Amino acid sequence: MSKNKSTWEKGKGKLGSLTPLIGKWKAETESPMGHLICTRSFESILGGKYVQLNASWKFAKYSYEEVALYGVDKDKKLSFWSFTNDGKQSQGKLSKAEDVHPEAICFEAQMPAGLARMIYWPDDDEGFYWAVESKTKKGWNRFTKHHYTK
């Protein structure tokens, strides 16, 4: 059993799949725009009906912020609604990414450039991975991947 197994236990209900993400997380990596520090904070809000994400991307000369809500939509599907400081919005629904990891939490969204997905999955030692991929004729093309720790 991995050290991280107990921290990736999912809770009850439709929002229970997000339980492993609750808390404050940080990733540091190099990117085409230079060194990046990204933080993600997930918390249960509005009586447990939603999970709110506050994400902050800090580059040397640029910062990017996102607020997202995860909750059950009118069709009773786990969904997200995302808003960013550059004025963009997106929304999507829970999907599967067993090709990435058997315990992956995945959301797909139709974006202006086509279908995209974001995926969270546990690291065997500490924290989790997060990636964004776009759908191509050959499959999924990963263009962002971070490793987050508490």
Mean pLDDT, the chain, integer: 93
Give the pLDDT confidence of 1-29 residue by residue, as tens digits.
344 455 689 999 999 999 999 999 999 99
For residue 113, pLDDT beyond 70: yes
Q: How many domains does the chain have?
A: 1
Check residue 32 and give its pLDDT: 85
CATH number, domain at 27?
2.40.128.20
What pLDDT digit, counting tens, does each position of 26-82 carry? 999 998 888 999 999 999 999 999 999 999 999 988 999 999 999 999 999 999 999
pTM: 0.92
Question: Which residues span the domain enclosing 108?
Answer: 5-148
Sheet of strand 78-84, all strands in order from the earlier edge strand to the far edge: 23-31, 34-45, 50-58, 63-72, 78-84, 89-95, 105-111, 114-122, 128-136, 139-148
Judge whether residue 143 has pLDDT over 60: yes
83, HSE (Cβ side, Cα atoms, 13 Å): 3
The pLDDT value recorded for residue 93 is: 98
Going by C-beta distance under 8 Å and a sequence separation of 6 or more, which residues neighbour residue 94? 17, 77, 78, 79, 105, 106, 107
C-alpha 23/C-alpha 149 separation (Å) is: 10
Helix (H, G, I), strand (E, B) or coil at 136: strand
73-95 tens-digit pLDDT: 999 999 999 999 999 999 999 99
